[in-house]
Amino acid sequence: MPILGWLAGRTVVEFIADYDHWVAFAMLAIVSGRMFWESLRSQHGRGKEIDITKGLMLVTLSIATSIDALAVGLSLALLDMSIAIASPTIGAVAFVVTIVGFKLGKKTGKLADKRAEAIGGIILLAIAVRILLSHIL
């Protein structure tokens, strides 16, 4: 999905080159906002255990993750970054972080709770702001 997003971005880059930083900022801010919102929203239903490995929840998360990856790929194209380096890096980091996340999640899941998702959203927003400021200033 990052590669498809990058390809889409490369085709429209000349049309939006003057405001590409705003587009990248908006896309990352939307992903960030969704992460932060999910962290707040899910705190209300803490007593319920949700199995994300089955049914509609799995499909929903898969689609959301794919859309996020597409948006990241589009942002990379708008920032004129090499997809040949970015895509394998994204895949390798995602693999390692997933494995580490599963291992740590079993041990610290109750402790970290949804704060980790909120922190991730804040970090993405900081990256979006950095992109915007680097083009404006």
pLDDT tens for 72-92 read 888 888 888 889 999 999 889
Place of tokens 């999640």: 105
Is 0.95 topped by the overall pTM? no
Domain boundaries, the chain: 2-136
29 within 8 A of 121, measured Cβ to Cβ: no
Measured between alpha carbons, how far is 18 from 98 in angstroms, rounded to an integer?
37
3-state secondary structure of 14: helix
pLDDT tens for 89-129 read 988 998 998 898 788 777 776 666 667 778 878 988 998 89
Select the highest-mean-pLDDT range: 49-58, 84-93, 128-137. 84-93
DSSP 37-94: HHHHHGGGGTTS---TTSHHHHHHHHHHHHHHHHHHHHHHHHTT--HHHHHHHHHHHH
Beta strands in the chain (DSSP E): none
